[in-house]
Amino acid sequence: MFHFVPNLKPYTFFRGRGNRRFDAYLLSVDYMRQHKALAKRVVGEERLLAADNGNVDLIRELLARYAGPARALDELRKKEEKKRGGYLQPGELSASLSEAYRALAEDIRAASKEATHESRTTETTQLQSAMDASYLVGMEDLTVATMTGLSMEPEYTMLPQSFYQALSERAVRFALDQQQCRYGICSGTVFAGLHAIDYDTAQLAGRLAGEAGVKGIASGLVGALRDKNYVDYRIADGALVPLPRPVPRPYLRVMEIVAGYYVGYGRATGKRLRFHGLGVGTPILLPLLSVFGDADTLLATDSTAPIVDGWTSPTISLYVDRPAPLKYKAHRIAEYWLRDGYGWDCPCPYCQDFMERHPHDVDGARRWWKSRGSPRLTRADMHRSSELSHLLPILGAPADPNLRRDAAMTRVAHNHWVLKRLESASRRAAREGRLREWVAETVDRYDRAPISASWRAAVQESWKLAQQALLSMGNVEPQPWNG
């Protein structure tokens, strides 16, 4: 069963009269004391509570520490790529530069081992157990997460599979030791905190986890989503798979990693993996990832993206599930509204309530826009220094602090509402035995939506990869959740 798992906050738990709560929430050890009462209520209502290990700060520290050396290598790599006149494929980087990448990878591995020492693991496990959570995100080896965030690609490092195997084995040992209370009393099921950089390393990690008997896998996918590269190939089972055209890598990389886990675990156990993808809230990725699940086995993703996109990001964004699961930039919505008359007429209760209390002045906004020569709008036009943010407040951050917060909270609630609808549609399709058909229909709607050709191609390739992985995984037994 697919779950979108919001971060536990008062505004994600108390969603307004008539709006159902989510069935699962995530709480990091960093916020446990702040939201202890809320966590107790989640558990008391027999909802799932996922206890995150709070390692995101450690990953940020490692990224900051190694950003300089990685940037220097990246500049050299770009020069070689420019000289070749195309994207570098495995084995095409100079031997000296590959060796420099490998040396940096070894430094990162040593730093990761130092950061995730026994005393930290013990403290983290005890904080997680104090939540009385349904499942815990196990302690991780942070090497691959750091390398991914620094764009240290496999085709640059040319590291052997044994390098990634050792990292996955370390994370699996953490999970088994935590489950066996080596780090103190452990309440809740431990999901191995694994990381992978592509399909093959994920398949290896999934197989190792399955053979070791871990009860689930949790994997951080934020680094993959922040990948800014384009690729014209991928690697599967050691072979290069050419793509019809270059595509942005983030969606494809997320799908490669998750598919690899499912195939590796399924082949090792004959069972469907219980999985939690940390940091995935992009609307189209929810249907794509849900295809790996079934009506009974836990498959979850969490993300602060609906909060960041609606509130704290410089670029305000709103989610939709029609005509397809998409993320629309607020200044683009405003421009269409002013130019073509297609307004923001969202039927969700949050937008409806806000617009009733704060009606838009569309005529005034159009006069403002035309007086400036009807320019293309930018994200700056939706912020407090612009009059437009006051005229179309649901799309902006007005100068008035109370109105600004009200608008932001409305967008946050709206974005979660859309993800909840996608969650419900996925579950319904799974119950009816037509999950793959529903995902195929959703991808088709995305394909016909007004989006860039490159992102359309990325989703097409991601869907193709998912279907191939499902065939490779074969028939696997469900693993109903029993805590």
Q: For residue range 21-39, what is the model confidence (pLDDT) as tens digits?
A: 999 999 999 999 999 999 9
Cross-strand pairs, 267: none
Instruction: Compute the mean pLDDT over every residue in the chain, rounded to the nearest whole number.
Output: 95
What average pLDDT score do residues 206-211 get? 98
Q: Quick check: 410 pLDDT over 90?
A: yes
Confidence of residue 308 (pLDDT cuts 50, 70, 90): very high
Q: For residue range 165-178, what is the model confidence (pLDDT) as tens digits?
A: 999 999 999 999 99
What average pLDDT score do residues 329-343 get? 90
Taken in order 43, 36, 409, 4, the sign of the CA dihedral is negative
What average pLDDT score do residues 150-154 get? 93
For the chain, give the percent of residues with pLDDT over 90: 92
Residue 214's pLDDT is what?
Answer: 97
For the chain, give the percent of residues with pLDDT over 70: 100
Residue 19's pLDDT is what?
Answer: 81
Cross-strand pairs, 193: 140, 218
What average pLDDT score do residues 370-392 get? 94
Residue 17's pLDDT is what?
Answer: 74
Chain length of the chain: 483
CA dist list (Å): 457 to 233, 290, 298, 461: 13, 20, 29, 6
Amino acid letter, 246: P
- The secondary structure of 407-439 as a DSSP string is HHHHHHHHHHHHHHHHHHHHHHHHHTT-HHHHH
What average pLDDT score do residues 126-148 get? 96
Closest CA to 35 of 10, 4, 6, 5: 10
What average pLDDT score do residues 227-251 get? 92
Neighbouring C-alpha atoms within 13 Å toward the C-beta of 170? 22
R_g over Cα of the chain: 23
What average pLDDT score do residues 397-406 get? 96
Residue 483's pLDDT is what?
Answer: 61
Confidence of residue 112 (pLDDT cuts 50, 70, 90): very high
Q: Quick check: 5 pLDDT over 70?
A: yes
Confidence of residue 85 (pLDDT cuts 50, 70, 90): confident
Q: Quick check: 323 pLDDT over 70?
A: yes
Taking the mean position of all CA atoms in its chain, how far away is CA 173? 25
CA-CA distance, 96 to 39, in Å (whole number)? Answer: 52
Residue 90's pLDDT is what?
Answer: 86
Q: Where are the alpha helices (DSSP H) in 131-198?
A: 143-149, 154-157, 161-179
User: Which residue is associated with the tokens 């960041």?
Assistant: 308
What average pLDDT score do residues 425-433 get? 97
What average pLDDT score do residues 73-86 get? 89
